[in-house]
Amino acid sequence: MIVLTAPSGAGKTTIAKHLLKKYPELDFSTSATTRSPREGEVEGKDYYFLSQEEFQQKINDEAFIEWEEVYEDRLYGTLHSEVDSLIANGKKVLFDIEINGAQNIKAKYDERCLVIFVKPPSFRALVSRLTNRGTETPASLEKRIKRIKKELLFENTFDMVLLNDKLEDALKEAEQIIESLVLKNS
Ligand code: 5GP
């Protein structure tokens, strides 16, 4: 299992999409969330978009490996059913999740799991990237920025750090990690 984790806006989703396109051995663990779809996002591919009630029901049913209230009233979670079916299909599972979720997945799968922290070049660069992305309202942008400050402190607590300054370089380095550490033994 490969977990890409990072503060919001560090570019982990772009890196994840690139790796999924390049390596058919990998497949994406589609999470469940209560946030609304962004333009272009596809149900069942980017996320399973659930109502608060549906998400709560899945919590009660213990359907999640891990879940987090990442932002106020916005829940995100990794489904047992999703990961089990990818593993049953012989895939290496790629996760794109925030820091607490990454810690929980690591605690559960330990040696079977490589956690890569995607590091933005600087706090300021991250804020301007997130602002330019234009997907956030001013209120949600503020919440994300508050969270980013805390998340950056976790850089050295994972297996690897991948600097995403120039995207092209980061993609190359991500490929090298996957080829040398994940696909080599398969
Ligand atoms: P976004 O709303 O930008 O898609 O995601 C917000 C944050 O939630 C990102 O850091 C994303 O990686 C994280 N996230 C997505 N799915 C999950 C999940 O299943 N569990 C956890 N803990 N975080 C997730």
Looking at the 3D structure of the chain, how many domains does it have? 1
Instruction: Spell out a b/e string for 19-37, using b for 16 or more CB atoms within 10 Å of the CB, else e.
Output: beeebeebbbbbbbbbbee
Q: What is the pLDDT along the chain (186 residues), one digit of tens a residue?
A: 999 999 888 899 999 999 999 999 999 999 999 999 999 999 999 999 999 999 999 999 999 999 999 988 899 999 999 999 999 999 999 999 999 999 999 999 999 999 999 999 999 988 888 898 888 899 989 988 988 999 999 999 999 999 999 999 999 999 999 999 888 866
Residue 114: which domain range? 2-182
Q: How far is the CA of 96 from the centre of ligand 1 (A)?
A: 7
Ligand 1 contact, 70 CB (< 6 A): yes
* Minimal-distance CA residue to ligand 1 atom 23: 97
Beta carbons within 8 Å of 23's beta carbon, 6+ residues apart: 178, 183
Cα 123 to middle of ligand 1, angstroms: 19
Domain CATH for 9: 3.40.50.300
Between the CA of 17 and the centroid of ligand 1 the distance, in Å, is 15
- Residue 77 Cβ < 6 Å to ligand 1: yes
Model pTM?
0.93
Determine the residue of 65, 76, 106, 141 to mutate for testing ligand 1's pocket, defined as the one with the most ligand atoms within 8 A of the Cβ atom: 76
Contact in structure between 117 and 106 (CB atoms under 8 Å): no
Distance 97 CA to ligand 1 centre (A): 5
Distance from the alpha carbon of residue 15 to the mean position of ligand 1, in angstroms? 14
Q: What is the pLDDT of residue 144?
A: 87
